[in-house]
Amino acid sequence: MDIVITKQQYKKLVYTLLDNITGGELSIGEKNRDNSWYYLTNSYGEDLMSVYYKGKARSPGCKNDLSLEPEFVTDIIKYIPLFKYKIFSEVLIDYVYDKTKIKCDCIDFRYVIYDADDTQELYGDEIRFAYNLKKKKRINID
């Protein structure tokens, strides 16, 4: 038996998850010294994401590049172990826009998948996903 979930249902599920992780709030933190990026923090004051808006740290072809902190990605994977990266990226970008009014066009995150008792990595090295939502294609980063 196949279970089908619509994009709207998935979006509602991910929004609920993100609200639980962020405390329902996402705010813009301080800019760094060279004024090229800033953190997005949750209601507890923890840095969850960074937005790179100028400089070499941005992915090629991106105006606002959203980068997720590894701990934040780990928290998400605890609840949604295998998610569709492209759809999840679109929903996360929408969530960030709804909370902060920052329109990001790219997303970049790294993660490691561990076994059930968190003692051993299942797939070896960390996995990196970088995606340009405007062009609808993965970003090749060497």
Count of structural domains, the chain: 1
**Parent domain of 100:** 25-138
pLDDT above 90 coverage of the chain, percent: 28
Contact 29, 41 (CB under 8 A): yes
Rg (CA), the chain: 15
Whether 39 is in a domain gets the answer yes
- Higher model confidence: residue 92 or residue 35? 92
Contact partners, residue 70, CB within 8 Å, separation at least 6? 109, 110, 111
Whether 123 is in a domain gets the answer yes
Whether 131 is in a domain gets the answer yes
pLDDT digits 0-9 by tens, 28-78: 987 777 778 889 999 888 899 999 988 887 887 889 999 999 888 888 887
Is pLDDT at 105 greater than 90 in this prediction? yes
Query: pTM to 2 decimals?
Result: 0.83
CA distance 41 to 26: 6
Nearest-CA neighbor of 110 among 121, 95, 101?
A: 121
